[in-house]
Structure 1
Amino acid sequence: MIYVLAFITTLPGRRDEVLTAYRANTVPVRAEKGCIEYAALFDPVNVEETPVPLGQDSFVVVERWGDYSQFQAHLASPHVGEYGAKVKHLIAKRVIHVLSPVDTAASDA
C-alpha cells in the first residue's frame, strides 16, 4: 500500500472553485482499482489555534492506493487529465509526496 499527500495551493480566492472540480472527480477516482482513500482536507473552520495552518487558498488531498502501479494508472486516467485541465490555470503550487507506511516499507522495496 502507498499513501499520497498532494498539497495544493490555489491562486488567491480560487480554492472553492478548485474544490468544486475535485468533488466532481471523486466518484470516478474512488471507483478506480486500488483506490482505498481519496479525501480533500483543509484548515478547520472556527479553530483559533492551528499550529501550522495551510491557509485560505490551500488544501491537502490524502490518498491511499493498493500499490504504486495502481496510483500510476490513476494518474493516466482520462478523468484525472480532465480535472487537471479544468484547474491548471487556478493552481499556484502543487507538491505531491508518495509515501510507504513505515511498517511495510522494507518489505515493499
Structure 2
Amino acid sequence: MSTVHVIAVITTKPGQREAVLDMFNANVPAVLAEDGCIAYEATIDTENAGPMQAAFGADTFVVVEKWESMKALGAHAAAPHMKEYAAKTKDMMADRKIHILSSV
C-alpha cells in the first residue's frame, strides 16, 4: 500500500486560531509517537509570499500529515488524545476539510 498524505484545512472562528494552534501543538508529540506517523505539522500562510500565493487567511491553518498506511491513519483518528483535542476545540471551529491522498 502506498503512503497516505493528509492535507487538513482547519478554519477557526474569528480570532481563535492561536488558541487552537496552542492546543494542536501540545498534542503533536502524542501524534508523532503513534505507530505509522511519519509527519504531522501545522502550517500557516507565509507572509510576503507575493502574487503567486493563494492565502488561506488569518483564521485558517493547514495540517500536513504523512502516514505509513490507511490503517495507521484510522488508528490516529480514533486515538484518545485526538478525541480529547476535538472536544476541547469543538466550539472554536468554523470549518474543517480533510483531503486524504495517496502517493502514485
TM tier relative to shorter chain: over 0.9
Deviation at 1:34, TM superposition (A): 0.2
Q: Secondary structure at the match of 2:76?
A: helix
Provide the residue aligned with 1:29 in structure 2. 31
1:49 aligned partner, one-letter code:
G
Where does residue 106 of structure 1 map in the other structure?
Answer: none
Task: Kindly indicate whether residue 104 of structure 2 is the aligned counterpart of residue 92 of structure 1.
Answer: no
Larger helix proportion of the pair: 1
- Candidates 6, 10, 15, aligned match of 2:8: 6
Deviation, structure 1 residue 101:
1.1
Gaps of 5+ in 1: 103-109
Q: Which structure has the larger Rg over C-alpha atoms?
A: 1
- Give 5+ residue unaligned stretches, structure 2: none
State the identity as a percent.
46
Structure 2 match to 1:41: 43
For the pair 1:57 / 2:59, whether they are aligned, the reply is yes
TM-aligned CA distance change 1:48 to 1:29, over 3 Å: closer
Distance in 2 between the 1:10 and 1:72 partners? 24
Q: Which runs of 4+ in 1 moved over 4 A?
A: none
Q: Aligned equivalents of 2:95 and 2:9: distance in 1?
A: 8
Name the SS of the counterpart of 1:16 in structure 2: helix
**Counterpart in the other structure of 1:107:** none
Q: Distance in 2 between matches of 1:6 and 1:71?
A: 13
* Cross-structure match for 1:83: 85
What is the CA RMSD across the aligned residues, in angstroms? 1.0
Q: What is the aligned residue count? A: 101
